[in-house]
């Protein structure tokens, strides 16, 4: 995704979130998320970044996508 994941205003964040969620639905990305979700039941994984606020970070969108695939998230 070319746009920065740091979006200050609510409208910008909503636009980014929709675009990022759509990108995660692409077949290659969806397959990768399926693999990560499956692996989460057999081993501990960590996904992070440098954003201070998870509520305005791509991590929150990724977390929701993984939960929807049945990932084990602590």
Kindly report, residue by residue over 18-49, the tens digit of the pLDDT. 999 999 999 999 999 999 999 999 999 888 88
Kindly state the tokens that stand for 5: 């994941």
pTM for the model = 0.81
Total residue length of the chain: 74
Residue 43 domain-assigned? Answer: yes
Kindly state the tokens that stand for 19: 């675009």
Residue 61 domain-assigned? Answer: yes
Residues 60-73 have pLDDT tens digits of 999 999 999 999 99
Residue 9 scores a pLDDT above 80: no
Residue 1 domain-assigned? Answer: no
Residue 3 domain-assigned? Answer: no
Taking alpha carbons only, the member of 59, 70, 61 closest to residue 35 is 70
Residue 1 scores a pLDDT above 60: no
How many folded domains does the chain comprise?
1
Whole domain around residue 22: which residue ranges? 10-68
Residue 32 domain-assigned? Answer: yes
């Amino acid at each position: 995704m070319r746009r920065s994941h740091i979006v200050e205003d609510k409208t910008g964040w909503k636009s980014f979130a929709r675009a990022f969620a759509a990108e995660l639905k692409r077949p290659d990305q969806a397959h990768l998320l399926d693999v990560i979700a499956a692996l989460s039941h057999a081993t501990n994984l960590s996904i992070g970044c440098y954003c201070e606020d998870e509520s305005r970070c791509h991590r929150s969108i990724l977390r929701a996508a993984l939960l929807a695939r049945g990932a084990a998230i602590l």
